Amino acid sequence: MIIGIPKEIKNNENRVALTPAGAFALTKAGHCVLVEKGAGCGSGFEDEEYTQAGASICEVEEVFAKAELIVKVKEYMESEYAYLREDQMVFTYLHIANNEPFAQALIASKTTAIAYETIVSKSGTLPLLTPMSEVAGRMSVQIGASMLQKANGGSGILLGGVPGVMPANVVVIGGGTVGFNAARIASGLGAQVQVFDINAERMAYIDDVSNGTIHTIYNNEYNLRAALKEADLVIGAVLIPGAKAPKLVSEDMVKTMKQGSAIVDVAIDQGGCIETCDHTTTHDDPTFVKHGVLHYSVANMPGAVPRTSTIALSNATLPYILELADKGLAALKEDDGFRKGLNTYQGVYTCQAVADALHAQYHDPQDLL
């Protein structure tokens, strides 16, 4: 199969979908890999490394025109919609539940679109979302700590405090991969951390592995509202696979927060879980102030640490890319969890959560493949 790796063009998106090691594995398996010129430079991989691994370096038009399978990191930008076509598979983070124009472009072009974020492993986890969730969760605390600095518009609080001075109060909404990684980093820096969730087993796990240093609280509006009044840093880490994130923090609740406190909404790529994060920002201009509270709502957070993110992502996606390259759509027929990644096919929506979010008709992929 011919696999195309285009350069990411989203603002400050320096990740690439495949490392030279991944290209080597694919070419060794008998496949052809076309990499757009300069695609890996942002992650520290030069074109020569790809050619040494057996890939061919091409211009963007050739990559899209010749490839049977396009592998990306992020969704297509509007200028890339023209490349979509019926006889091509696309494998990337789609996030179309919160991106109707891209969703409509996929439907109109009848593209076979497979989303990293809705693939499910045999153990029930989200294997291709996990590595970037780990990165984003850890980054969220670094970013929040910087936002709290006075020079950046924050209240001037050191996250971990010092002897004789209380540390910051960090509220993490959601105890999944993002939330747990955020809580671990915040706690490690000495902050007082509260994780809000509704899964009793997950809260018990967090309490156990943290030896009680991370406090877990059952999430409801009453509890969350009380915590937000005292919070210095709030991290939104809520996920419903494939669907829009629920708005758990209302604008009214944000108004009760302290002046100079900070919010990092990691869920923004799925619409965000905090009402006042009403638009996405970029790495060039990542923050804004609303009701005296700093907000950060960059949708491609891991793109700021592309070397780590690219290697972690490629490690996770490569087995699936090899399956697609070897078997085509038969790989989805054989694996229920892999098939859950199929979001659009032949002009219809094949992911229930996506169809519901877009108020569209769902078609069972088992009936179509």
Annotated catalytic residues are 95, 269
As beta bridge partners, residue 3 has 33, 69
Question: Where are the strands (E) in the chain, listed by range?
Answer: 2-5, 32-36, 56-58, 69-71, 89-92, 112-115, 169-173, 192-197, 214-218, 233-236, 262-265, 287-290, 293-296, 342-345, 348-349
CA distance 163 to 286: 32
Query: Distance between CA atoms of 249 and 236, rounded to whole angstroms?
Result: 9
Task: Supply the DSSP symbol for 339.
Answer: H
| Residue 329 phi, psi dihedral angles, 5° rounding | -65, -15
Q: Are 246 and 240 in contact (CB under 8 A)?
A: yes
What span, in angstroms and rounded, lies between the C-alpha atoms of 345 and 329?
11
Q: Are strands 293-296 and 287-290 parallel, antiparallel or unpaired?
A: antiparallel
Burial (CB count <10 Å: 0-12, 13-18, 19+), residue 79: exposed
What is the torsional sign of CA 103, 108, 114, 119?
Answer: positive
Fill in the DSSP letter of residue 162: B
Give DSSP secondary structure letters for 82-131. GG--TT-EEEE---GGG-HHHHHHHHHHT-EEEEGGG---TTS--TTTHH
